[in-house]
Amino acid sequence: MHDPDLPPRLRLLLEGLSAEQLPITYQQAAEALGLAPPRTIQRVALALEALMREDVANHRPLIAALVVSRRGDLPRQGFFELAVELGRFPAAPALQEPAYREELETVLGEKR
């Protein structure tokens, strides 16, 4: 279920939120975008992956860092895997969370 309009809509949503409202969960993003089941979280994740590819190609911070799992304060594993694949994060798992925290601060810093 590929929705080519979803990544730009998600970017607009994330850009429109204040630093105080961030990060948001995948579920919150799905609800804000008005997505209906099935696979709402998967669709958000695929849109975030598209945004990550765009951001790397355009030498921008990863706006996808603003979306986290409700089980904690980190994105899902797919975020880290793609960030490594795109050359943005180190391959060593122990270094990925610090790299994420730095990326998040960079993105939030642009909103302040």
| Segment 26-41 mean pLDDT | 96
Written as six digits, the tokens of 15 are 């850009």
Q: Is residue 59 over pLDDT 70?
A: yes
pLDDT in tens, 36-55: 999 999 999 999 999 999 99
State the Cα–Cα distance between residues 45 and 76, nearest whole angstrom: 9
pLDDT of residue 110: 87
DSSP label of 9: H
Between vectors from CA 90 to CA 48 and to CA 62, what angle results, nearest 5°? 25
DSSP label of 19: G
Q: pTM value? A: 0.95
